[in-house]
Structures are given as C-alpha cells and as structure tokens.
C-alpha cells in the first residue's frame, strides 16, 4: 500500500472553510512590509538572521533549538527522511500514525521508506494510548502525534505524550502543534521536552498568523535532534518575502490575538448551530470544528458546496463516517456557514 497526499480543490470564489486557513488574511503590517520590498531584496539570496531571531524569541527557544522550514510540510518530510536513514528494504523501519491524521505523515514516511502502521481511533476520538504503546517496538523509528489533533480538534494528555516518548526512546516522536495557538498547551518550554530529547515539536505560521501563502514552519528540538535535519534541508528554503514578513508577524500580536478571539467566538457559534441541528460534534481546541451528521454527512458537504460554502468531507477516514471538518475563522463568515448549514441540514429532515 502506498500513501499519497490527495490534492484538495481550492476554489477561487466562495467561502473556503475546508483547509483550516486563516480566513482573516494576514496582519496589515505584514502586508505593508511586503509592499515596501526593494529589488535587491528580491534578487539576492535572503539572510535569515532577523527572521530566525524573531521566531526564536516569539516561541521562547534558544536559537540553536530552532529550524525554520518551507512550511511545516517541509519539516515533516525532513523528519521522515532523517528517521528512516539506514533502513533496509527487506527489514524496514516503522512509522506509527494514530488516525485520523494529517495525510502528510503517512505520505512522507512512506516515501522515505517506512512501513506505515496506522492505529485506529477510539469511538470518541480520545487518544488511543494503550494501543499506541502496544504498537511501538524496536523497529519503530518515527511516531506522529498531533496536538491538538487535525481533524478532530482533540488534545493528547501530557502524560500520554511522555509515556510514548519513553516507550519509543529509540525513535523520533514528532509532536505537530500546528493548531496549538488556538488551544491546548505547547510542549515548548516545558520540563517534559527537556526530559525527552527524542521529541521534535512542529509549529507553523500558516494558521494563526495567516501566512500559508508564504510557507513558513518551525521545528523545535534539542541541537542533537536538529543536526541531521539541518543536513537534509536546503540552505535557502525560506523565500525572501517570508524572511521579511516573519519579524513583523511576530511583532503584530494585536492581529494575532484579534484572530484568536474571532476563532473562539466562531466555535461557540458553530456549537450552538450544531446543537440546534442535533448533530454530533467534538469541542475543538483548534480553529475548526469536527461534526457528524448521521446518514447525511457527504450529502450536506455537497449541498454546502452548491452554495459555494466549502467544508471538508472526512467521512472516508477511519472511524469518521458522516463526518466533516469546518474552519471556524472570522465570525461574519461563520454566520454565513451556520445559516447555510441550517438550510441544507433541515432540507434533509423534510
């Protein structure tokens, strides 16, 4: 079996609530900094000192514990390549993915030569700790954890992460914190991260900061863990626009907090709507809500799309029959989503 990231349609008009993007655009200060760029800033290979320093300060990590990447996706690929070095095709290393999960983990680990082992979810999407522990053995070289999870928005308890890192002591434990800005607690700066040098934390500027189009991610870990990744990654992987924008994005905390507030209010609005419709949903620590409409999930996704409201059909993932994932971004747009949902879901009942 091979794993691939299936490209998702990106319609140019309508409400794009299917990719967890920041629906508020980026900081106006970031936009101004890009408008002010000069010819030489474009024509020369960029310098990363200011961007690296700004991100390290914003995340509260020493410079040597941070690697910037071309989107966290590039970090995921690099981690996969590093973890699978030395594997033999006859006796491959294993990569463990608790599902449902971001498709890139299995795709990249598979490409790097891993045997991918999927651990199915609990019915309520709580973290399957004991089954994860049972799955990890000496051939396990890479374990993927997403905290908060995409697509469910659920949090992995700290002691579960710690037990996994202990059990998989010969593996890289990658903790993807793409959504931690919105909820949950980052491992960065925690004693747990100091105790477990085999953990690498992933962060991104695509979601809370609204820089998905600029492609910036960050890997945080011990210098010894980052050294092999540094060798794998190309030297000029962050483009000049991203390098200029990052210090500004880190400075403009007003924009960042405005957006977090919008997301918070949007989630409350969606919960209300889903309660009224009698749908099942899971309280989310991320910038999206995962919901189930028994018997009509995919039909509702299609009916929303016909109204140019795009949400993500996740019904084909393990344990996710009739489930969809909806971005909770700017409140005005969420109101449009809620109104459309009420229309199409009630249409089903009549």
Please tell me the chain's helix, strand, coil percentages from 3-state DSSP, rounded to the nearest 5. Answer: 40, 15, 40
Tokens representing residue 190 in the block: 């925690």
d(C-alpha 236, C-alpha 47), whole Å: 9
Q: Which residues pair with 83 in a beta bridge?
A: none
Asked if 150 is part of the footprint of ligand PLP (rule: CB under 6 A), the reply reads yes
The stretch among 66-74, 89-97, 220-228, 325-333 that binds ligand PLP (CB under 6 A) is 66-74
Is the CB of 54 or the CB of 87 nearer to ligand PLP? 54
Spatial CA neighbour of 208 closest among 253, 162, 145: 253
Burial-class residue 232 by CB neighbours within 10 Å (0-12, 13-18, 19+): middle
Is the CB of 87 or the CB of 317 nearer to ligand PLP? 317
Q: Which residue is nearest to ligand PLP (CB)?
A: 71
Asked if 152 is part of the footprint of ligand PLP (rule: CB under 6 A), the reply reads no
Is the CB of 30 or the CB of 72 nearer to ligand PLP? 72
| Cβ(339)–Cβ(143) below 8 Å | no
- In this chain, which of 94, 176, 322, 333 binds ligand PLP, going by CB under 6 A? 176
Asked if 212 is part of the footprint of ligand PLP (rule: CB under 6 A), the reply reads yes
Q: How far is the CB of 186 from ligand PLP (least distance, A)?
A: 14
Q: How far is the CB of 178 from ligand PLP (least distance, A)?
A: 4
| Cβ(83)–Cβ(114) below 8 Å | yes
Q: How far is the CB of 343 from ligand PLP (least distance, A)?
A: 28
Q: Where are the alpha helices (DSSP H) in the chain?
A: 28-35, 39-43, 49-59, 71-83, 104-111, 129-135, 158-167, 191-195, 223-232, 240-251, 253-277, 297-306, 331-349
Asked if 178 is part of the footprint of ligand PLP (rule: CB under 6 A), the reply reads yes
Spatial CA neighbour of 339 closest among 331, 171, 118: 331
Is the CB of 204 or the CB of 334 nearer to ligand PLP? 204
- In this chain, which of 146, 162, 262, 287 binds ligand PLP, going by CB under 6 A? 146
Is the CB of 27 or the CB of 206 nearer to ligand PLP? 206
Asked if 20 is part of the footprint of ligand PLP (rule: CB under 6 A), the reply reads yes
The stretch among 65-73, 133-141, 260-268, 322-330 that binds ligand PLP (CB under 6 A) is 65-73
The stretch among 68-76, 183-191, 249-257, 328-336 that binds ligand PLP (CB under 6 A) is 68-76
Spatial CA neighbour of 145 closest among 184, 194, 196, 201: 201
Asked if 177 is part of the footprint of ligand PLP (rule: CB under 6 A), the reply reads no
Beta-carbon contacts of residue 334 (< 8 Å; ≥ 6 apart): 265, 266, 269, 270, 328
Q: How far is the CB of 94 from ligand PLP (least distance, A)?
A: 21
Is the CB of 19 or the CB of 34 nearer to ligand PLP? 19
Asked if 72 is part of the footprint of ligand PLP (rule: CB under 6 A), the reply reads yes
Is the CB of 72 or the CB of 279 nearer to ligand PLP? 72
| Cβ(72)–Cβ(204) below 8 Å | yes
Q: Which residues pair with 174 in a beta bridge?
A: 144, 200
Question: Contact residues for ligand PLP (CB under 6 A)?
Answer: 20, 71-73, 102, 146, 150, 176, 178, 204, 206, 212, 217
């Amino acid at each position: 079996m091979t794993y691939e990231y299936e490209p998702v349609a990106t319609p140019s008009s309508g409400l794009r609530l299917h990719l967890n993007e920041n629906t508020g655009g980026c900081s106006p200060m970031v936009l101004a900094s890009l408008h002010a760029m000069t010819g030489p800033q474009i024509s020369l290979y960029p310098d990363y000192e200011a961007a690296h320093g700004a991100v390290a300060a914003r995340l509260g990590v020493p410079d040597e514990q941070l690697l910037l990447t071309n989107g966290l996706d590039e970090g995921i690929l690099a981690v996969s390549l590093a973890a699978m070095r030395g594997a033999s095709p006859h006796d491959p290393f294993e990569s463990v993915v608790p599902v449902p999960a971001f498709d890139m983990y299995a795709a990249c680990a598979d490409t790097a030569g891993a045997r991918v082992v999927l651990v199915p979810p609990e019915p309520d999407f709580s973290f399957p700790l004991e089954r994860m522990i049972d799955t990890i053995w000496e051939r396990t070289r890479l374990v993927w954890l997403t905290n908060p999870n995409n697509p469910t928005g659920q949090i992995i308890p700290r002691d579960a992460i710690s037990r996994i890192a202990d059990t998989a002591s010969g593996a890289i434990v990658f903790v993807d914190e793409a959504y931690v800005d919105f909820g949950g607690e980052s491992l960065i700066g925690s004693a747990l991260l100091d105790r477990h040098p085999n953990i690498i934390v992933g962060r991104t500027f695509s979601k809370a900061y609204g820089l998905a189009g600029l492609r910036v991610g960050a890997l945080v870990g011990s210098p010894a863990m980052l050294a092999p990744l540094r060798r794998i990654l190309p030297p000029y992987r962050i483009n000049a626009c991203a390098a200029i924008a990052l210090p500004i994005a880190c400075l403009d905390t007003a924009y960042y907090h405005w957006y977090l507030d919008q997301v918070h209010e949007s989630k409350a609005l969606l919960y209300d709507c889903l309660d009224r419709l009698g749908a099942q949903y899971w309280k989310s620590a991320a910038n999206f809500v995962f919901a189930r409409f028994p018997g009509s999930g995919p039909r509702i996704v299609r009916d929303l799309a016909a109204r140019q409201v795009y949400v993500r059909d996740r019904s084909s993932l393990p344990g996710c029959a009739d489930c969809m994932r909806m971005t909770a971004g700017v409140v005005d747009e969420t109101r449009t989503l809620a109104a459309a949902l009420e229309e199409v879901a009630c249409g089903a009942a009549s």
